[in-house]
Structure 1
């Protein structure tokens, strides 16, 4: 049997296509209209409203603009709701630009240390290729957020406001990417001189990276004068503070007690086990990025209980699947592509992970849940895409979508059953650097 695509095969494909009137109708429609508009299931859309039985948010959404800082925004959004209450203000924002600066510099150091450690491998080694594939991306994970806050503290947005480059990171990232890959070449070229020589060169390279970041993002403040007016007009002044002092005073959530739990249904990832991904992180010397794999029902239960108890929940998901940004809704059956194309789409969550069809791409904050008979029906989500879409920037997620496309949440350790708390202390299973569970939300 021939392995090449033949003219006879193509002719048969065409006959099969033309034999079904539905195919021609779909061709007429899709050549004139976006396929997502045609596949959008109106019955699903009209079944969704934005009301919730348990709602926490009474603040405005933030806007990451043209950047991949969602994980930083989601983490800071979790903290700011509590800080706003402490300050007695209607709305408050931490500086996302401040953490972006330190994340970029820390990631550069992390990359260079990884390259020093792997200097004996060929440049086309799969791990080296992965390290250099996106050496300065905006994305991150929960543990990486915690590492930045614990090392560098926080500042209010007024102390380090947005710049053009923090709101549109692509041009800056292009420059950094070139410098980091150039640095990789330089480090590997002197590998035979030993780690000390490589680290001396690393310091020179980091000086250049710091210079670029300072030009694009501004200089992070070592101290700043903090004063504000509360929502009744009362004036308050704390005086001069360091970022670390500010975080220590105004972050009341016990960040060190939060753990990342995930739902990874692949057979190779048993539930109840702790995992880490090789060379996943940003701050050298910080605790490893780890997560505990659990069943989806428990992931939902912990998220619901946390919200009902009055606290939002940071989470990571694959946001591009079955979503409509204009309407601000997610549902596992939002688009009926099978009817449009006459073709089944039947990859389950495990298969999507295994075959490169899914990974965590975005991080947001759960701020509400609609509970019916003790079970979640739909979820309220604070996005960081501004207030022009959805319900003033707040999205609605049906529970069916949560099961299929949410991958991880950050939750307090004491919410877990005792056997899972004990499991957290085990040595983690190490996955390769390119595993999809090491994807960075961005």
Structure 2
């Protein structure tokens, strides 16, 4: 090996914390939004990914929890399921290591991933309740895990021998287990014994029933192609549809009682600390937790909107594609869309469950405008039955 795990871990951990600091100086007053809920669907309590890059897991599992609630007809919030994030993260890291080595390090190996990763884990390994695998930290801090696992797989890739030993996978898996805990083979849940696969089935989750959609102009409409971002290390595909069709799916899904796993970009300063996402064309970057990275620390005024409700940018297919092509729009965060609301001017907003804890004015919930969602959506995942009938027919989905 050309470098040790400990040296690489120290270097990468320091680098992972080197986010830019928030701009100094007075900020304009925050506008007084007054939201009226039009429709909202059941969601489980807000969680906190804290200092981990696992929003993709928290958001998609929240989505699957809502799916279990819908499919099983659970009415009592006390009976809502709570799926283990670290079970999924553990399997994801282990699968990613195998692929990373297989392609000689020519894919991304970081904390980031996509919604499809969770569905792969659910299909291949199952799901478990939080109590069966709570992880080893109350609030996840994954800088050291990310640094050491990356250093490990890089050392394997750089091995000068022509063939690898049969031991490296077990060693890597043990490293992940040391940080996240061992994956349970069986567990007790409400008086019954389950495997991860039988628990997934008991919750009514059929991974093949879910479809992903994107809207780009570099791929023919109504065909499947990978979302071309580094975090899509599994090379999962999404159906490419027009922008209007993508938005129709979002509204139709919520109105029909479904929620949506949403991959988006929250680096805009219009995505405020106090739970609003509007399309203001400025950037934000901070440090610390995942929340602080994007919207600042408690007590900092980072909102750039004026005291009156801002006029938002008009979004077109062309402006969306430009943002994607020039990296102004990236897949930097995953959340769950579960409702629709309007402000005092009648502007529509999507109600969004975040994974930064019960922070902000709305205790972990964000209201993201139609324009923001229209411009900054990278990918959505929904149950196939949430698709409008005409689009379902176009895509040939039964």
TM over 0.5: yes
Q: Which residue of 1 aligns with 2:310?
A: none
Change beyond 3 A, Cα 1:403–1:172 = same
Q: Which residue of 2 aligns with 1:312?
A: 259
Pairing 1:105-254 to 2, within 5 Å after superposition: 105-115=94-104, 130-131=106-107, 134-135=108-109, 137-164=110-137, 167-186=140-159, 189-191=160-162, 197-198=163-164, 201=165, 203-227=166-190, 237-238=191-192, 240-250=193-203, 252-254=204-206
Where 2:37 maps in the other structure, the secondary structure is: coil
Is 1:52 the counterpart of 2:37? The answer is: yes
Change beyond 3 A, Cα 1:363–1:424 = farther
Change beyond 3 A, Cα 1:377–1:281 = closer
Aligned counterpart for 2:64 among listed residues 67, 79, 98: 79
Report how far residue 350 of structure 1 moved.
2.1
Pairing 1:352-391 to 2, within 5 Å after superposition: 352-370=323-341, 377-391=348-362
**Cα pair 2:48 2:355 within 8 Å, conserved:** yes
Q: Which residue of 2 aligns with 1:326?
A: 273
Is 1:303 the counterpart of 2:250? The answer is: yes
**Cα pair 1:94 1:154 within 8 Å, conserved:** yes
Is there any run of 5+ residues in structure 1 with no aligned partner, and where?
1-29, 116-127, 192-196, 228-236, 340-345, 426-442
Paired with 1:113 and 1:71, the residues of 2 have a C-alpha distance of 24
Report how far residue 418 of structure 1 moved.
5.2
Q: Which residue of 1 aligns with 2:211?
A: 259
TM-score (norm 1): 0.69
CA distances 1:381-427 after superposition (whole Å, capped 9, x unpaired): 000110022311111011111111112111233525557655569xx
CA distances 1:342-400 after superposition (whole Å, capped 9, x unpaired): xxxx993322222232211111111101379xx98111000011002231111101111
CA distances 1:169-203 after superposition (whole Å, capped 9, x unpaired): 111111111111101111xx344xxxxx44xx3x4
**Cα pair 1:97 1:166 within 8 Å, conserved:** no
**Cα pair 2:135 2:181 within 8 Å, conserved:** no
Change beyond 3 A, Cα 1:289–1:404 = same
Aligned counterpart for 1:350 among listed residues 312, 321, 332: 321
Q: Which residue of 2 aligns with 1:404?
A: 375
Q: Which residue of 1 aligns with 2:87?
A: 98
Paired with 1:103 and 1:376, the residues of 2 have a C-alpha distance of 39
Pairing 1:18-37 to 2, within 5 Å after superposition: 33=25, 37=27
Larger radius of gyration between Structure 1 and Structure 2:
1
**Cα pair 1:72 1:99 within 8 Å, conserved:** yes
**Cα pair 1:223 1:241 within 8 Å, conserved:** yes
TM-score (norm 2): 0.76
Where 1:316 maps in the other structure, the secondary structure is: strand
| Count of residues in correspondence between the two structures | 339
CA distances 1:231-268 after superposition (whole Å, capped 9, x unpaired): xxxxxx22x21111111111x2443122111122x4x3
Bigger proportion of residues as helix: 1
